[in-house]
Chains A and B, each alone.
Chain A
Amino acid sequence: MSLTELQTPTTTEVRVGRLEDVPPGEGRAFTAGDTQVAVFRLRDGSLHATQASCPHAGGPLADGQTDARVLVCPLHLFGFRWSDGASTSGAGPLRVYAVRESDGDLLVTL
């Protein structure tokens, strides 16, 4: 895999898809090697990435709803803070990854 190209000793930045794959306000799931990630593009343009399945009971987080503060899982509506992945209602924590856009590519740091 092209994973190795950007490898640094501790972290890896992986291209998972294109910005236009994720409509404004929504989330989409991607694979980065054998890690599943969900990438969210908020209406204010900011990007967030988390593990793809919910720590509570495996819900598909890319189908969740978002605001500037939290991601809400579609299955049992637990909320998770973007800032640290902590749950606002008792589950979790959720893994959050750094993500950025470069030339239209979505780059997630694993």
Chain B
Amino acid sequence: MAAVLGGRPEGVTTVPLGPDAELDPRPRVVVVGNGMAGARLVEELLERGGGDQFAITVFGEEPHGTYNRIMLSPVLAGETHEDEIVLNSHDWYADNGIELRSGVAVTRVDLPAKTVHGDDGTVTGYDHLVLATGSSSFVPPMTGVHRDDGSLLPGVVGFRTIDDTRVMLAAATEHERAVVVGGGLLGLEAARALQGQGMQVDLLHAAGHLMNAQLDADAGAILKTSVEALGITVHCGLTATEVIGPDRVRGVVLADGRAVDAGLLVLAAGIRPRTEVAVRSGLEVQRGIVVDDQLRTEDPDVYAVGECAQHRGTVYGLVSPVWEQARVLADVLTGTDPTAEYHGSRTATKLKVAGVDVATMGVTGPERDDDEFLVISEPRRGVHLSVVVRDDRLVGATLLGDTSKVAYLTQAFDRGSPLPARRIELLVDLSDGKAEVGVAELPADSQVCNCNGVSKAAICEAVAGGCTSVGAVMDRTRAGKGCGSCKGLVGQIVEWAADGDVTEDPAADWYVPGIPLAKPALIAAVREQDLRSVSAVFAALAPAGAEDARSKMALTSLLKTVWGSDFVRENDATFINDRVHANIQRDGTFSVVPQMKGGVTSVAQLRTIADVAEKYEVPMIKVTGGQRIDLLGVRKEDLPGMWADLGMPSGYAYGKSFRTVKTCVGSDFCRFGLDDSTGLGIDLETRFQGIESPAKMKLAVVGCPRNCAEAYVKDVGVVAVGEGRWEVYVGGAAGASVRKGDLLATVTGRDAVVQLAGRFMQYYRENAHWLERTYDFVPRVGLEKIQAVLLEDSEGIVADLDAGMQRSIDAYTDPWAADLAEPATPGQFRTSLPLVDLPLVPVR
């Protein structure tokens, strides 16, 4: 006997319902069909607390648990084992307190009595009934396809269930030839898989070109060439009229009179919603079961979701509308949002059909006189791309053979986002020839998040597992939660994996996860309600006043920016680095980086550093990439002693703050030097030392465009161009991202540089997202806007920016000196790893 997919091991039977099921006071939800829609609905109910609220019973005609129907193609192709496609096993249902009646088909519903009748003779009452019966394969009219009892002739099979798939796999071992009827998605998938299993395949398609529902004739012709190149014989515009039997399939007769031998006949010429239960029960059925915007049939307690439902005249045949419907119905049933409505889906599909990438959305060609229609056709490469633009919005796109732009186009299609003026950029990247690898082409095992070792496959798995927002995927996989440089890519992959069906994170524009406010609203509330400490912010603004560990560091930074010296410090609201003013290392020791303005040091400073390193047995002394000296591997309890002995201020190498100003030797020594870059660098570092900010700010000043201190790739980079003139670049980076800064302005005189740098940094501090470096901030806001605000005072805020920066500068105190005089909290420098012999880092 064939195994039950997602079933229990042999010998274990489903626990029968105890007598108290009848006494269960909870309203009963009965779901008919445990396919993709029924199962997703149940999951959405559980997510909303429906597991406590309702007693849930699910009927499934198939004996199996819920499996991923989409994955039947790879199972047929032998690429995936059938065990891997189980979504919810029998155990899953049991563990979640849901009664699964698998192997039981519902035959009819008694609407007045509110009961369903099973083919096992049972009668089950319901308070809410959900029909999720899906579709079945359409059987085209052919002589001899049925046996006398109405069942299909042996060897004739649809492509819908795991059992169908098993029949095909068995046939592939016994027979050499197969005929597949239907040149749409399913037929092509079946043909390709069977051909891969060693069968010789003839594909019959009634319409004039393949995938005629999604592709225009030109694209269809290109697809035909690609498919034929695989060795599949394609007959378009041709149907089968007769099945040659009599005991089992021997072949088919075609409409043109020819006969083709075949031991297997696969019917993939469309699907029909399974409405028989609804019809028998007297519910309104047209093509599907008719439902309103709340997925309700004409009976107020009966709903339908998935492929069996007809909503506003449309019956869907893809999963993404199914997901949307399940969400709405779960909102309605649980009362989470009693007014939730489903308004239909704009379907964008991305498929891999017979090894060829296909993505389609909206209309396939121009429909109105002024529709813009752009086509790129490369038949020899098997590529055909087209877009339809109407009133500056994308209303359709077809991508065949190359779907690298699909995530971008889906977003434009779904959100109506602005389109590039040069329409061709919708289809190809014109940037610089070194086209970026599209996410579609990225191999599944390629590592996306290096910090946390997350692969593309893991991200796709999280999406398949039901994470619908980028934030949810990041929480599940930890992708993007290290340095954050891969966040953009993670977003693209999520978009791609979800076929563009991504829900906005409600928290996406909050400044911190624990407080539901965007940055401007948060700052306004902090000012209005006079909130000066992090605990005061939580008490006043967090839901239920709840603290959130992951919001604390960002709030501390923000409050310092807003209040300057009036900020009330709470040590527990800071990250460990800021608690002890040093950077934590992998073994719990710390690093000490004294300030060394502009990278310039002195004999006395070097001697002191050497003495201190010796006295405290510092395991490593290193010259940093920021032009100063790092003492690494220092015990926490030694920090105050070292600071005292050093007698130098902190270099802030640990904080989200202004860090360093790198400089080159400049005009005092360099034969090319145009100005005193060293002096200006020291001025900048003196003025802005220790200023907290949403992310690190690293500066550099160079004496000429040879750029020895890398000013072009700094958050603020200053380049001398002679005659007292300096170029000020912003938004540069050469860390996790590499970006040349944008020229903000060329100004005359050192004071002008200091003033403009301060204005820019203050604007950034007030407007950037938490942890958003200037290399993201500047392009997000736009250089032109920043220039208008800072240079032309277009918003009348320049005076405020200058004052805000001055307030922070006035509030500066060297944290080392301050906490030396008096520890911030008891035990501030007590070790946190008492029994470990330190240091664990290598000693050099």
Interface residues in chain A, defined as those with a beta carbon under 8 Å from any beta carbon in chain B = 20-31, 34, 36, 38, 42-43, 52-53, 57-72, 74-77, 79, 89-90
Nearest opposing residue in chain B for A42, CB measure: B547
- Number of B residues, CB within 8 Å of A: 34
9 CB-based A-B contacts, threshold 8 Å: A22-B827, A36-B834, A43-B572, A58-B588, A59-B588, A60-B831, A63-B576, A66-B547, A66-B572
CA distance A18 to B15 in the complex (A): 53
Interface status of B586 (Cβ within 8 A of chain A): yes
Q: Chain A residues near B571 (CB, 8 Å)?
A: 23, 25-26
* Given pairs A23-B826, A67-B547, A71-B549, 11 additional interface contacts (CB within 8 A): A23-B827, A29-B830, A60-B588, A60-B832, A63-B576, A65-B549, A66-B572, A69-B549, A70-B549, A74-B575, A75-B586
Selected contact of B588 from candidates A23, A27, A63, A76, CB within 8 Å: A63
A25 with B572, Cβ < 8 A, contacts A67-B547, A68-B547 known: yes
Is the CB of B239 closer than 8 A to any CB of chain A?
no
A-B pairs with the 4 shortest C-beta distances?
A25-B572, A60-B832, A62-B832, A23-B825
Chain A residue nearest to B477 (CB atoms) is: A90
CB distance from A58 to the nearest CB of B (A): 7
Residues in B825-844 with C-beta less than 8 Å from chain A: 825-827, 830-836
- Per-residue CB proximity of B549-574 to A under 8 Å, as 1/0? 11011000000000000000011110
Query: How far apart sit A72 and B570, CA to CA, in the bound complex (Å)?
Result: 17
- Considering the chains assembled together, what is the distance between the CA atoms of A70 and B549 in angstroms? 7
Whose C-beta in chain B lies nearest to the C-beta of A22? B827
Which listed residue, B514, B573, B576, B832, touches A29 by the CB 8 Å rule? B832
* B638 interface residue per 8 A CB criterion: no
Q: How many A-B residue pairs have CB under 8 A?
A: 100
B559 to chain A, nearest CB (A): 15
Q: Which of A20, A22, A25, A31 has the most CB of B within 10 A?
A: A25
Q: Tell me if B481 counts as interface (CB < 8 A to partner A).
A: yes
Residue of A nearest to B823 (CB): A23
Complex Cα gap A28–B834 (Å): 10
Q: How far is it, in angstroms, between the C-alpha of A34 and the C-alpha of B835 when the chains are bound?
A: 8
When C-beta atoms are compared, the residue in chain A nearest to B584 turns out to be: A74
Q: Is the CB of A90 within 8 A of B478?
A: yes
Q: How far is the CA of A4 from the CA of B344 in the complex (A)?
A: 70
Residues on A with C-beta less than 8 A from B548 are: 67
A28 touches B475 (CB 8 A): no
Bound Cα distance A77, B549 (Å)? 10
Contacts of A62 in B (CB 8 A): 832
Partner of A43, one of B478, B514, B535, B834: B535
Could you tell me the distance in whole angstroms from the C-beta of B758 to the nearest C-beta in chain A?
31
Contact with A65, one of B546, B552, B826, B833 (Cβ below 8 angstroms): B552
B425 in contact (CB, < 8 A): no
Tell whether A28 pairs with B830 under 8 Å between CB atoms, given A23-B825, A71-B549, A75-B586. yes
Chain A residues with Cβ under 8 A from B587's Cβ?
58
Q: Write the nearest CB–CB distance from B635 to chain A, whole angstroms.
A: 12
A74-B572 contact given A66-B549, A90-B478, CB 8 Å threshold: no
Interface centre among B570, B827, B831, B835 (most CB of A within 10 A): B827
List residues of chain A with CB within 8 A of the CB of B807. Answer: none
CA distance A69 to B834 in the complex (A): 26
- Selected from A38, A57, A75, A90, the residue in CB contact (under 8 A) with B584 is A75
Contact B833 A52 (CB under 8 A): yes
**Does the CB pair A60–B827 fall under 8 Å?**
no
The distance in angstroms between the C-alpha atoms of A59 and B586, with both chains bound, is 7
Are B832 and A67 in contact (CB-based, < 8 A)? no
**B48 proximal to A (CB < 8 A):** no
Nearest CB in chain B to that of A29: its residue? B832
- Tell me, rounded to whole Å, the shortest Cβ–Cβ distance linking A105 to chain B: 16
Give CA–CA (A52, B588) in the complex, Å.
12
CB contacts under 8 Å to A, within B568-615, are: 570-573, 575-576, 579, 584, 586-588
Complex Cα–Cα for A36 and B836 (A): 10
A30 vs B827: C-alpha distance when bound (angstroms): 12
Residues of B contacting A90 in the complex (Cβ-Cβ under 8 angstroms): 478
The answer on a CB contact under 8 Å between A28 and B832 is yes
Which residues of chain A come closer than 8 Å to B586, judged between CB atoms? 57, 75
